[in-house]
Amino acid sequence: MQYLEAVLFFLLTGNAMEQDTLTEKAAFTMYKDTLSLIKYISSKFRQQSNTPQANIDNKLAVLSLRCQALLYLKLFKMKKHEMKEYQKVLADYHQKAPQTTQLQHEGCGMAAAAGGQGTPSPMSPTPSPAGSVGSVGSQSSGYSSGELAGRGAGANAVGHTPPVPPTAQPAPVPSGSMGPCLSVPIAVHNAMHKQSQHVLSLLSCHELWEQADSLVYKAKHRDFFIQLDRSCGPLTLHSSLKDLVKYVQVGIQRLKEMSSARSPEDTSSTASGRV
């Protein structure tokens, strides 16, 4: 509980920084760091045991999920103006991009082989050794493209096949090892990468909010949160961070009271067990 209470002070600090034009950009970093802290705290909650302490931990987990969801939403909103600019770049590209830039499997493999030797490849407008960016997925947060490895395998096979007798046939390239390739300008690739990051924040927000709802029903905590809603007002995706802080503070205070109320019972049961 103390760690989650500390998180609330970080949220208030970030909110204050956001109101000042000099520290407005730093508030984004503050929120991201706070989000990482909440994730670490949430990993300590025990949600599977049917014990009084686990009952409290489940409620803390719900509050933690609400915090994470609204923080992800805050990060998305703070970058929403950038997303509009990225959308303009992508829309302009899709309108003007020629339809003939799509390559077949063989051409993609040949281009990858040439790109690995330091020559310009369709995946990069500038010469690159082995470090050229091959796909949007390879740059996304925590994800790697399954196609990248396939393209690299195809690149090694093409252009280095040893001579074969006239009666022999070269081994066919597996159809799933590489897909059609499309060359895009660096600016368009960067716009795709940034936009995917911001969309991921919005997606994470809704997923975490749904997880919190599911835990409330699964662990049968509806009564606790109905009373909390009546005291502080319902917490929704439209709630501000100040509303969130007030809501979680009251929730933690009630959980502390629940913990204190059961402590004498635990002490007496322990003492009787010793006797």
pTM above 0.75, yes or no: no
Residue 215: what pLDDT?
94
Give the separation between CA 24 and CA 16, rounded to whole angstroms: 9
Q: Which domain holds residue 207?
A: 2-82+198-274
Is residue 88 in a domain?
A: no
> With 50 as the cut, is the pLDDT of residue 248 above it?
yes
Is residue 92 in a domain?
A: no
Residue with structure tokens 């716009």?
191
Is residue 115 in a domain?
A: yes
Residues 75 and 102 in one domain: no
Q: How do residues 55-67 score in pLDDT, each as one tens digit?
A: 888 999 999 999 9
User: Which structure tokens are listed for 208?
Assistant: 């975490």
| Domain end among 183, 213, 237 | 183
> With 60 as the cut, is the pLDDT of residue 184 above it?
yes
Among the listed residues 136, 15, 12, 7, the one whose alpha carbon sits nearest the alpha carbon of residue 78: 15
| Domain end among 121, 154, 183 | 183
Average pLDDT over residues 267-271: 45
Residues 176 and 50 in one domain: no
DSSP 3-state of 203: helix
Residues 111 and 170 in one domain: yes
CB 121 within 8 A of CB 132: yes
Is residue 174 in a domain?
A: yes
Residues 264 and 224 in one domain: yes
Is residue 78 in a domain?
A: yes
- List CB contacts of 138: < 8 A, sequence separation 6 or more: 144, 145, 148
Is residue 89 in a domain?
A: no
Query: b or e along 27-62 (b: 16 or more beta carbons within 10 Å of the residue's beta carbon)?
Result: bbebbeebbeebeebbeebeeeeeeeebbbbbbbbb
Residues 16 and 66 in one domain: yes
Give the separation between CA 7 and CA 103, rounded to whole angstroms: 51
| Domain end among 150, 183, 216 | 183
Residue 29: what pLDDT?
94
Is residue 90 in a domain?
A: no
Q: How many domains does the chain have?
A: 2
Give the separation between CA 39 and CA 104, rounded to whole angstroms: 44
Average pLDDT over residues 168-188: 68
Is residue 269 in a domain?
A: yes
Give the separation between CA 235 and CA 243, rounded to whole angstroms: 8
Q: How do residues 200-235 score in pLDDT, each as one tens digit?
A: 999 999 999 999 999 999 988 999 999 999 999 999
CA dihedral for 170, 173, 175, 180, sign (positive or negative): negative
Q: How do residues 37-81 score in pLDDT, each as one tens digit?
A: 999 888 877 655 667 788 888 999 999 999 999 999 999 999 999
